[in-house]
Amino acid sequence: MAISNFVYDVIIIGGGPIGLACAIEAQEKGLSYVVLEKGALVNSLFNYPLYMTFFSTAEKLEIGNVPFSCIAPKPGRQEALEYYRNVHKHFNLHIKMFERVISINKQGSGMFVVHSSKDWYNARNVVIATGFYEIPIYMNVPGENLPQVRHYYKEAHEYAFSKVLVVGANNSSVDAALECWRKGAEVTMVIRRDQINDRVKYWVKPDIENRIAEGSIKAYYYSEVTEIRDGEADIFTPDGTVTLENDFVLALTGYRPDIDFLKKSGINVSEGLECTPQYNPETMETNVQGLYLAGVVCGGLETHKWFIENSRVHAGMIVNDIISKQ
């Protein structure tokens, strides 16, 4: 594949809500752009659990001044997919889906060459808005690669009437535990700390705590999975190792951005547990001039810092900075 001579003002990597917001801002300001998305439109949202409910209200998920109408107090996955499809249709955005970006290289001329799974592109600026949902945080224990171990959860039907071990105490693990239990599964939770995470949705947290308190869902606190075998798993608890029979292990221990991709693109990333990429909080430009970050990816491994509602503003900040340099 030969590199086209056309030079985009900006290439946006990631077709999630924040990537779409960047595209809208670029389009409205007259910049030439293209969005490269590795999967379907708003691919991470598409891969969320079927009946997932957002923490944010509908108006806080809006982009491009397009109203998000919702009957329920909080929108769900299906409503969000409908909304962002309508946003794309309304603006007729330039998006290439199912095209994964492999590398970003800045040339001596200051131009960027972006290599995707399908083509090569030139750009004066690049925005990385890739989110964090692609790479699970693995437990790194023997047996984690067995077929009964899942790092993503879609819906409860598959686990009905089974013995299910749910690892984690965040929103995804709590939702999965409750839904599987309500569909007839025998659910046990393995929780590293002494309680359900305080960031669990406030209308769900009492539900899971009450189910645990009454014994409907069993929970091991201060505990970790140490090994998984066909039909059973070892749990290290304060009282010693316990072996539990199970049909499925839902290891919903969180997800992280592709830190290696950021580093290979030239972005400085802090050492230690946070892995925070370097960027200017006023412009969202990284240490690589012309290369910007937008959305959840800005938080590194601290994925709880940025959401759609508080990172929508990144689009305007980035495009205004690009225009100011023209």
In percent, the amount of the chain with pLDDT more than 70 equals: 99
Q: What's the pLDDT at 2?
A: 52
Residue 214 scores a pLDDT above 90? yes
What is the arithmetic mean of pLDDT over 189-208?
Answer: 93
Residue 3 confidence class, pLDDT cut points 50, 70, 90: low
Residue 272 confidence class, pLDDT cut points 50, 70, 90: confident
**Nearest residue to 116 (alpha-carbon basis) of 146, 95, 145, 140:** 95
Q: What is the pLDDT of residues 30-54, one digit of tens each?
A: 999 999 999 999 999 999 999 999 9
Distance CA 59, CA 221 (A): 37
Distance CA 319, CA 147 (A): 45
Residue 306 confidence class, pLDDT cut points 50, 70, 90: confident
- Domains of the chain and CATH, by start: 7-135+255-324 (3.50.50.60), 138-251 (3.50.50.60)
Distance CA 156, CA 298 (A): 32
Q: What's the pLDDT at 309?
A: 87
Handedness of CA 22, 23, 28, 30 (dihedral sign): positive
Q: What is the pLDDT of residues 155-189, one digit of tens each?
A: 999 999 999 999 999 999 999 999 999 999 999 99
Which residue has 């539900």 as its token pair? 207
Q: What is the pLDDT of residues 87-139, one digit of tens each?
A: 999 999 999 999 999 999 999 999 999 999 999 999 999 999 998 888 999 99
Residue 1 scores a pLDDT above 60? no
Distance CA 219, CA 191 (A): 7
